[in-house]
Amino acid sequence: MSDPETTPWWRGAVIYQIYPRSFCDSNGDGVGDLAGVTSKLDYVASLGVDGIWLSPFFRSPMKDFGYDVSDYCDVDPVFGTLEQFDALLDRAHALGLKVIIDQVYSHTSEEHPWFIESSASADNSKADWYVWAPAKPDGTPPNNWQASFGGPAWTWHPRRRLYYLHNFLTQQPDLNFHNPDVRAAVLDVARFWLDRGVDGFRLDVVNYYAQDPALRDNPPRPWPKTPARTYLFQHHIHDKSQPETLTFVESLRAVTDQYSERMMVGEIVDDDDLARQQEYTLGESRLHTAYSFHLIGGRRGEPSLFAEASEAWRGASGWPSWSLGNHDVPRYPTRLGGPEAGADQTKALLAALFALKGTLFLYQGDELGLPQGRVRFEDLQDPFARAAFTGDAGRDGARTPFPWNQDLPMAGFTRADKAWLPVDPDHAARAVVGQEGDPESLLSFTRGLIALRAAQPALRIGEAEVLAAPEGVLAILRSHGDARLLCVINLSGQPKTFTHGDLGVGVVLETGLPAALADGALQLPGFSGAFVRL
């Protein structure tokens, strides 16, 4: 049993994701920046979180808004300077906040000097730094692999007279992790930021690093109806999650472990994402923790979604991470609760997240209960959102500017007349200033959950067991030593009664959830719950 006093800081932590482009604009150009983030760190610390995760702020042509890196070791001017990053890091540490940063190692921008050199000829020092392959005799791509955003994962390069692999946009060529020089260069990037003082990394699509060297075709994946993306037509068994990736992850862990109290959290995207999460965190030589799309890809906020996540990790040796949302998926109240989700349902969904064993991530605005943002087609910036547009704003709907003050133009995000994405009026109505003094607000509720998790070792680092419960109710027993905490969340809109043999001696902890304990039973109104100390 782990001791709360000696448990690593990241185990059971709550980490707040900041998408810098949309958090706070300090210079009035309509785009959020590092100085803006620094100016708002007091607010982040007031939530009670343990740290922040910063989405990419590196030099980039911004074809995928920073996930196409052209210089891993410098700050893009739109976000500021290295000196401003150092100031952010110092201020965060002064407030007791850890800082983890995105690292996008699977691919670079086509404008990265490595790719420019690699694509120039077949006999330069970086010719084999990317995944190049000849055409088939008929000129078609080397195999049937599909890119995540749709279409073939290969693009013909006239100068090299070869195809190059890109699992995402054509402007994001994949690095060749079978090349030891590539692996060494990436490890040097990690050392650069560790030496600068960051507390860890969020590793973008970590299981995509290496591909099958034989470039075998992926098998088809049957669907009852035609999926929206060609990527979904296949079982992706050869283009990701290869053994060589785990070998590199172990090398990266060895580098990270040379620094005190650092950590790595990986993003897992796989057909069997829960099993892959466990594989990538197995033992003490791989990732410290990992999250998958099991929750953030969920479409209905039912107990089974959370119960499956919890039970999959019961008895596992690794440590999971969980989140209800991030910059890549529609915001959780709308995605899991539907377009008419109210405050009570949003609170219940958030409480279900906090009942899980693992490290938790909150995406900026989750604490305000922001629904999916509305963005007109002509205002969309994300190329994937534009390509897949059917009326929903896609990823841009989760990236609209953060609302600070409903009484200020642009909700206080910027002093410019126009932001890079429009401010949703529904978001402005849920701004921080308007929620700060309201004890019934989502902001107050979120702060209460974070404080409860910090104060209860059973909730922060304890084991988890899913219990039988009425339909629509999630019940998870968390335990650490002699401490036991029963988390019961009614995710339905109907009143429910939950009974358990030990409820007669239970004490309901204050969370703001409307539930009553009487005569050994919990009476749960629709979209409610209770955390009960047994």
Question: pLDDT by residue (tens digit) across 409-459?
Answer: 999 999 999 999 999 999 999 999 999 989 999 999 999 999 999 999 999
> What pLDDT is attached to residue 1?
58
The pLDDT value recorded for residue 415 is 97
Radius of gyration of the chain (CA): 23
Q: Catalytic residue among 50, 76, 204, 396, which?
A: 204
Report the alpha-carbon angle 183-188-191, nearest 5: 130
Say what the pLDDT of residue 129 is: 98
Options 3.20.20.70, 3.20.20.80, 2.60.120.330, 3.10.450.50; CATH of 14-109+180-212+244-450: 3.20.20.80
For residues 380 and 403, is the Cβ–Cβ distance under 8 A?
Answer: no
Sequence-ordered strand ranges (E) for 77-117? 98-103
Token pair in block for residue 90: 């110092």
Listed in sequence order, the residues at least 6 apart from 485 whose beta carbon sits closer than 8 Å to its beta carbon are: 456, 458, 459, 462, 477, 478, 479, 509, 531, 532, 533, 534
pLDDT of residue 330: 96
In single-letter form, the type of residue at position 56 comes to: P
Amino acid at 435: Q
Could you tell me where in the chain the CATH 3.20.20.80 domains are found?
14-109+180-212+244-450
Catalytic choice (25, 50, 174, 267)? 267
204 is catalytic: yes
pLDDT at 236: 96
Q: Which residues of the chain have pLDDT under 50?
A: none
Are 207 and 276 spatial neighbours (Cβ–Cβ below 8 Å)? yes
Concerning whether 267 is annotated as a catalytic residue, the answer is: yes
User: CB atoms < 10 A from the CB of 320, how many?
Assistant: 24
What pLDDT score does 261 carry? Answer: 97
User: 3-class DSSP state for residue 186?
Assistant: helix
pLDDT at 2: 66
Q: CB of 52 within 8 A of CB of 432? A: no
How far apart (Å, rounded) are the C-alpha atoms in residues 285 and 280?
A: 9
Q: How does pLDDT run across 280-290, given as a tens digit for each residue? A: 999 999 999 99
CATH 2.60.40.1180 in the chain is located at: 463-533
Q: How far is it, in rounded angstroms, from Cα 275 to Cα 301?
A: 21
Domain spanning 463-533: CATH 2.60.120.10:
no
